[in-house]
Amino acid sequence: MLDERTIREQIQFYSRRAYDRRLVGGTGGNFSARLNPEQMLITASGVSLGDTSVDNLIIVNIIDHNWEPVGDLRPSKEFLFHADILRLRPDVGAVLHGHPLHATAYAVNKRDIPMVTDAAFKQPPMPRVPFAPSGSEALRSNVVHAIEANPGCKALLLEEHGTLALGGDIVAAYNVADLTEELATIAYLAEIMKEIAMR
C-alpha cells in the first residue's frame, strides 16, 4: 500500500485532472481513496476538485465514520457512501464521483449509456442508482443497494445527478470515470448522427 503522502499527492493530481477534463465543475464532485484498512482520505466539502491540495483532504474512519477536522473544512457531504463502498468492496481502493456532461445527461434522462463501441462491449454492467437528494440517507441507501446487487461494477449512473467510478487505486478510478464519459459522448454523438441521417 502507498504511503499517506503519496496518496495525498495522487488525489491532488487526479482531482485537478478530473476538473480540467470537465468530469466535474464548480465545487461539485468528490474523490476518496483508501488510506489503510480502517481509514480513507476524501476531498473537502465546498472545495473545488480543481483546488484540491495535499493539505485540504480529510481523514475519515470507514467503520465508525468519525473524521479529523482540517481547520474549518469538513469532508464531502457524500462521505458516507464513499465509506460504504470501500467497506463493502475490498477490491476498491478509490472512488470518484463526478458530473461529466454526457454521462450525466443519460443519468438525467434515466437511461443507460448505450454500449456502441468495442471498448464499451468489454465493460461490466453499469447500474443506475435511483434518484435521491445529494448527501441524503436515501441516496446512501440506494448506492449501497446498487453495490451489493452488482458486485463487479466499476461505474454507476446516479439518476438526475452524475456518475460514480470505482477503481483498485486512484489512477484506475480516474480512468474509469474518464472512459465512462468517453463512452457516453460517443453514444450521444452516434445518436445525433443517426437522427440527422434519417431526416
Burial class for 179, CB neighbours closer than 10 Å (0-12, 13-18, 19+): middle
Q: At 2, is the secondary structure helix, strand, or coil?
A: coil
Q: How far apart are CA 163 and CA 17, in angstroms?
A: 16
Alpha helices in the chain (DSSP H): 4-20, 79-88, 101-108, 118-121, 137-149, 170-197
Q: Is 78 an active-site residue?
A: yes
Task: Read off the DSSP letter of residue 68.
Answer: E
Given 68, 78, 160, 195, which residue is catalytic?
78
49 contacts 15 by C-beta, under 8 angstroms: yes
42 Ramachandran zone, left/alpha/beta (phi>0; psi -120 to 50): beta
Q: Whose CA is closest to 157, among 178, 127, 183? A: 127
16 contacts 49 by C-beta, under 8 angstroms: yes
20-40 burial code (b ≥16 CB/10 A, e <16): eeebbeebbbbbbbbbeeebb
Catalytic amino acids?
78
